[in-house]
């Protein structure tokens, strides 16, 4: 099948963005799962190359993204493919990571617990969340069987309330594991309840697709974007009295004013020295979509006489999320190419560079 990289050409809003889309091969019986393992190595490219090369020895698995961060000393890898192949690929990558990464010398800005820190399985097409939970469980069991490695279950795969949130499991990070492991409270779901200083532990789970999305404003004042983020994110902001002091409830905990949207994390950030942005994670785009947060940011920004200047996706986005925004901005249903063009224009995803469909939309990047 001939494939064409789609570059958006802007000639007007309604009918004048012309491009040719690569057509995904829609076979409705095919299952597609994404896995985003995070490795505690962000400086040695040879190690990461060895991990990803080993993953790609599994037929049917495609590498979508490798994001190395030296300051974080962490690399986020995104692979996609049929569930059985993706499971085997991440297990092979885990074997290389456990033999190549030494946590006793690791130091970075990002919270971490192990050489392979977190392994989420994410449904993309024709696969349920329950099936992804089973993949997370099988990954944990195989890690224990093949490598004698310890694995916690989190998110949708969690078996305990206090292990749903990754930060709750990570509390104290790698440095706390020697005290935590060995106790009944911190026994992992799979593998030995014993601290391995070289490899640490891993959290495996199942979750919805997370969309990392930022919106830039025409201001260098981060307090403006931070204020907007506080009004929109699920956690909202702390309640304060007339003196600016936190208001506590009867249990002594700070009270909060909930934000506008569910399943949304957000904060004010700086894109560069002159541009502040609202930086967000959309935890469930079917609950809170790209166009919803964008329109809300524009409304709040207008109250201080500011405007949005660009939208920025970090990593890849599912096709449905883009099509939903396309319908919103186009005003009606249409072909995929028209809806994608409308979404890109409406979300201003073309302002910081070309929006290349084959590189930014999961289904097209995966060639399926």
pLDDT at 368: 63
Q: What is the pTM of this model?
A: 0.74
Task: Please give the CATH superfamily to which domain 211-365 belongs.
Answer: Formiminotransferase, C-terminal subdomain (3.30.70.670)
The beta strand positions in the chain, using DSSP E, are: 32-35, 38-39, 62-69, 74-81, 116-125, 151-155, 202-206, 211-217, 237-238, 256-257, 264-272, 275-282, 308-314
From the list 65, 51, 57, 135, the residue with the least C-alpha distance to 93 is 51
Catalytic residue among 110, 149, 291, 328: 110
pLDDT at 24: 47
Q: What is the pLDDT along the chain (368 residues), one digit of tens a residue?
A: 223 233 333 333 333 333 444 444 443 348 999 999 999 999 999 999 999 999 999 999 999 989 888 888 999 899 999 999 999 999 999 999 999 999 999 988 788 999 999 999 999 889 999 999 999 999 999 999 999 999 999 999 999 999 998 889 999 999 999 999 999 999 999 999 999 999 999 999 999 989 989 999 999 999 999 999 999 999 998 888 787 788 887 777 888 899 999 999 999 989 889 999 999 999 999 999 999 999 999 999 999 999 999 999 988 899 999 999 999 999 989 999 999 999 999 999 999 999 999 989 998 988 76
Show me where the domains of the chain are located: 32-206, 211-365
Q: Answer yes or no: 330 catalytic.
A: no
Residues composing the chain: 368
Kindly report the CATH number that applies to the domain delimited by 32-206: 3.30.990.10
């Amino acid at each position: 099948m001939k494939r064409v990289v789609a570059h958006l050409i802007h000639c007007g809003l309604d009918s004048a963005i012309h491009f040719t889309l690569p057509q995904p091969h829609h076979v409705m019986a095919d299952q597609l799962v994404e896995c985003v393992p995070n490795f505690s190595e962000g400086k040695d490219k040879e190690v990461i190359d060895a991990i990803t090369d080993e993953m790609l020895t599994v037929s049917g698995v495609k590498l979508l993204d490798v994001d190395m961060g030296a300051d974080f000393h962490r690399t986020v890898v995104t692979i996609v493919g049929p569930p059985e192949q993706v499971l085997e690929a991440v297990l092979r990558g885990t074997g290389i990571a456990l033999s190549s990464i030494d946590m006793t010398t690791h130091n970075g800005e990002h919270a971490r617990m192990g050489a392979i820190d977190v392994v989420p399985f994410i449904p993309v097409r024709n696969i349920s969340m329950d099936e992804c939970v089973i993949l997370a469980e099988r990954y944990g069991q195989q890690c224990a069987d093949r490598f004698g490695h310890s694995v916690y279950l989190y998110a949708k795969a969690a078996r305990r309330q206090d292990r749903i949130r990754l930060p709750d499991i990570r509390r104290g990070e790698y440095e706390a594991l020697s005290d935590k492991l060995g106790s009944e409270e911190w026994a992992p779901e799979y593998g030995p309840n014993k601290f391995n200083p070289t490899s640490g532990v891993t959290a495996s789970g199942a979750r919805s697709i997370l969309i990392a999305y930022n919106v830039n404003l025409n201001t260098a004042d981060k307090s403006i974007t931070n204020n907007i983020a506080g009004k929109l994110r699920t956690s909202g902001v702390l309640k304060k009295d007339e003196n600016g002091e936190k208001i506590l409830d009867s249990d002594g905990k700070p009270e909060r004013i909930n934000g506008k949207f569910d399943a949304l994390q957000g904060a004010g950030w700086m894109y560069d020295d002159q541009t502040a942005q609202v930086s967000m994670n959309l935890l469930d785009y079917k609950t809170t979509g790209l166009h919803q947060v964008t329109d809300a940011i524009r409304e709040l920004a207008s109250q201080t006489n500011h405007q949005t200047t660009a939208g920025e996706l970090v990593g890849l986005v599912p096709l449905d999320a883009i099509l939903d925004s396309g319908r919103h901005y186009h005003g009606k249903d249409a072909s995929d190419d028209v809806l994608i063009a409308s979404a890109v224009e409406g979300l201003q995803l073309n302002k910081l560079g070309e929006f290349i469909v084959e590189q930014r939309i999961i289904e097209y990047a995966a060639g399926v």
